Structure 1
């Protein structure tokens, strides 16, 4: 470059760069920028065929078709003590955690009378034994359940596609909680009997991530037995009882994903719920799910939700993101990454003393109000020693369980 040309570039370029930098600083000082990148490509042909059209429901809510095991008046139209649906994303500050605190425990005047296992609140989870062995990381979910739920009134059913009865971890909990923990092997064709998926050619679909078959198992199990579904990659922080007066799925995160706004990692429906009956009708009469995909999960729930609205049927509830998945929002109000050491930055850690990630701080305050922490698999990662998961959750589980059983098993 000739000297005269270089001088001209510097003469006009340098002031321009300075002006741009000053302008950026002024904009940043006066305004709060927000950037959320979520680039997903959806096939237009699939959207036009499966998402946009709203077909009629299958008639499951017709009084003549509702199962006598399901009380339509109570479940759908009955008065509830707690409101669990906020109606707005609650992206700002601690709004979602504060909302979780409005959900109060039910004062139902229970007695100490023994409740048979089949009559207790039923909770379900699932582990595919062909994908990975059940080990310490999976045990954390079991610990969290027995440390946070009302055990004399609850039963956890661990479903699998193979025999788990010889697993040492499973045997320990079967021995400690014989009336509150049991095992079942999934028989999908048997569970599907009496539904629109009965004998369907798609019942044997599986994928290496256990998405399609896992989503199917969720719905079939709850349809057959009723109760709450809890994914194995969750840590529970609070008794779920106050949520169970509602039938619900959860918000995927605090952002408005057009087609994947809902999640079934934590969900609850009653036995023979017409909501699930309609879900099976939709599954049986739609294009087969892509593999792996959430076509029988998030996308199915949204498609069903829109059809319920069109026919003026009150839809199932949608729990705000932080109640089950506090990792899924903005950097300033998501709980810290559980798999990295605590750091002195962010809303949780750089707050004044008594408001951070230490015991009694803001993070513990939030964890006490929400119900689960969804870890989104990541089974190959370990919690850092001395991190907030160990201090604020795992150690509490151990202490609570030792107190419950009266001896040092943990």
Structure 2
């Protein structure tokens, strides 16, 4: 029999805990390890940068799986708005959907590389002289209608909001156009509004939103969802957007946009826009700039989908981007040609790669005067950015109402100052007629 004390001597030695092992790394050994590891990491990162293009986009959005299964993937039947007997006599389906168009507004690819999207935008233009012929006076109600919306209970309409109004009156063909500013309160006493009503009485009008009245004759008539709203004006703003265009027809322009040229070439199509150049699977579309004809069956189907779905989350884009996607998939499922989707840069050139997005409007210009580091023409008048702005149709500022444009920056030089000059020129020409 082995003595007890010998058993203790021959037993296995106790293993050291991970903490005690880590403590074995003396400062000198740890320093030596870092001297090897850090240069190695640098070499690997530099090699990846040299051999590959690291410019990309990280946008992490979490969607609940049960919400996707319930709201996105199922394809419920359409509401029958495209049946011939239900199409409004005010809507010419042969012309709107099947008619021959002069311009192509869908590229079919994302156009993330270089200036592809801007070059495509440059193809959507009238032939020189085609849109400048003299024409008789057109009554305001018969002109191309444009709509925008401002909630007076959230913020005062001030100088920042005026920029969109300036951009409209500076860039659009006013004898053929009218902008209607919608609101949930009376904006007529506002001095900014009064100024443009006096300057352009036939091209500018005010309307107060009456949602129940606008919803009459749609699947949303007297619906319990009509009174929904949120503090960001997302849910109610998206509803107003659709109801207004359904009732009056025309183009919608969000108040946080700066127009850069005449929208007329786009208006032969019914469209929404691409959210960005990355094709977000559940948020691919944007309605900040959109166009539909009066009593369009596309909008009728949108109202049917809203009326027969769960209430929108607040705040959310459930009645905006999500709704357009759900409708688009149902149209395809029933072999109905869907509405068009404008490429991102036509309305939102901030929403792509670092090397082809326009510079942030609220940051000072680069000191070297270049646009994202390109050699040659850059931010100067007549440069690469200036040419790109002349091809696209707007710059979407994505709210950011509390930010100011840098004095002398590209927005100030290439857009705001020109708005003033163009408006003065139009006022002078109108006075000479």
1:334-367 CA-to-partner distances (Å, cap 9, x unmatched) read: 11111111113696164344x1011011000000
SS, match of residue 194 in structure 1: coil
Unaligned runs of 5+ in 2: 1-21
Q: C-alpha deviations, 1:77-136, integer Å up to 9, x for none?
A: 111111001111111111110110011126368542010111000000000000011111
Matches within 5 A, 1:87-106: 87-105=108-126
- 1:310 corresponds to: 333
2:277 counterpart of 1:254: yes
1:351-370 superposed matches below 5 A:
351-353=374-376, 355-370=377-392
More deviation in 10-19 or 297-306? 10-19
Supply the distance in 2 between the matched residues of 1:402 and 1:39 (Cα, whole angstroms): 46
| Structure 1: tracts of 5 or more residues without a match | none
Query: Which residue does 2:420 correspond to in 1?
Result: 398
Contact 2:55–2:354, Cα closer than 8 Å, also in 1 = no
**TM-score, normalised by the number of residues in structure 2:** 0.90
Q: 1:53, 1:257 → 2: CA distance?
A: 18
Shift of residue 2 of structure 1? 8.9
Distance 1:125 1:72 in 2: 26
**8 Å CA contact retained: 1:344, 1:350:** no
The CA distance in 2 between the partners of 1:290 and 1:23, in whole Å, is 45
- The equivalent of 2:17 in structure 1 is none
Structure-1 separation of matches of 2:61 and 2:23: 47
Deviations 1:142-174 (A, max 9, x none): 111011000000000000000011111101101
Q: Is the CA contact 1:236–1:371 (under 8 Å) kept in the aligned structure 2? A: yes
Question: The residue matched to 2:179 in structure 1 has which SS?
Answer: strand
Matches within 5 A, 1:372-387: 372-387=394-409
CA contact (8 A) 2:355 2:372 kept: no
Q: Distance in 2 between matches of 1:83 and 1:290?
A: 35
Match of 2:83 among 52, 62, 67: 62
**How far apart are the structure 2 equivalents of 1:36 and 1:119?**
44
Report matched runs for 1:10-409 at 5 Å.
Answer: 14-105=35-126, 107=130, 111-344=134-367, 348=371, 350-353=373-376, 355-406=377-428
Q: CA RMSD in A?
A: 2.0
Any conservation in 1 of the 2:369–2:380 contact (CA below 8 Å)?
A: no
Q: How many residues align?
A: 408
Shift of 1:34: 3.4
Larger Rg: 2
Could you say what secondary structure the match of 1:133 adopts? coil
Give per-residue Cα distances to partners, 1:300-351, cap 9 Å, x unaligned. 0000000000000110000011100011111111111111111136961643
Secondary structure of residue in 2 paired with 1:155: strand
Determine the C-alpha separation between the residues in 2 that align with 1:219 and 1:2: 66
- Distance in 1 separating the partners of 2:25 and 2:397: 60
Q: Which moved more, 1:215-224 or 1:107-116?
A: 107-116
Q: CA deviation at 1:44?
A: 1.6
Superposition deviation, residue 21 in structure 1: 2.5
Q: SS of the counterpart of 1:386?
A: coil
